[in-house]
A and B are shown apart, each in its own frame.
Chain A
């Protein structure tokens, strides 16, 4: 979390590090000059002791932002710049993607509806859902749609149209169509 915050204050961190290192080098150079070295030699020695400035900076930056995050941010910025540099190419790419995704989605939803979701009966639109509202099963978990075998058998023997079917059932239970068979 802290590291993500660091991304937004990177400029300040860089400035601070520069000042910090400059302070270190200046102090060291002064000290070396006091001990009798000529200034160019003192500067060279101080820089050498600290190791390569670039390498040191790089190492500290890796602490602020882990390497992958830094690379990722740079990649992100680079892609944003490329996008704005060539809007026509971007538009073409976006259009291609949109068409491709749209076509694929359309095809898949069609297949899904026609092949995968279709019920394995002759007239799915005529299906009805029978619901049992008997007292003995009221309010219990899973009480819906539970019927005893004799009743199921009786229902099966009703070789009539769905309207007749519901008329028979009206005595002790209600039945309602799943969908309007209009």
Chain B
């Protein structure tokens, strides 16, 4: 396998694992928040804001893996 295809595979695997981990964690967070809202609908606004903050913080690591995939992808043509 030459270095070009290794780079391409590395970029694809980086974003794939990042997206998988991030989405499964986000799914857990949303499930817990929805459960809380279903049990106590009055607390909807109090739960929603921390949930969105948590989702954004989880997403930031996915974005960092996207960044690495992006850098690897830029190296392919060179």
State yes or no: do A and B come from one complex. Answer: no
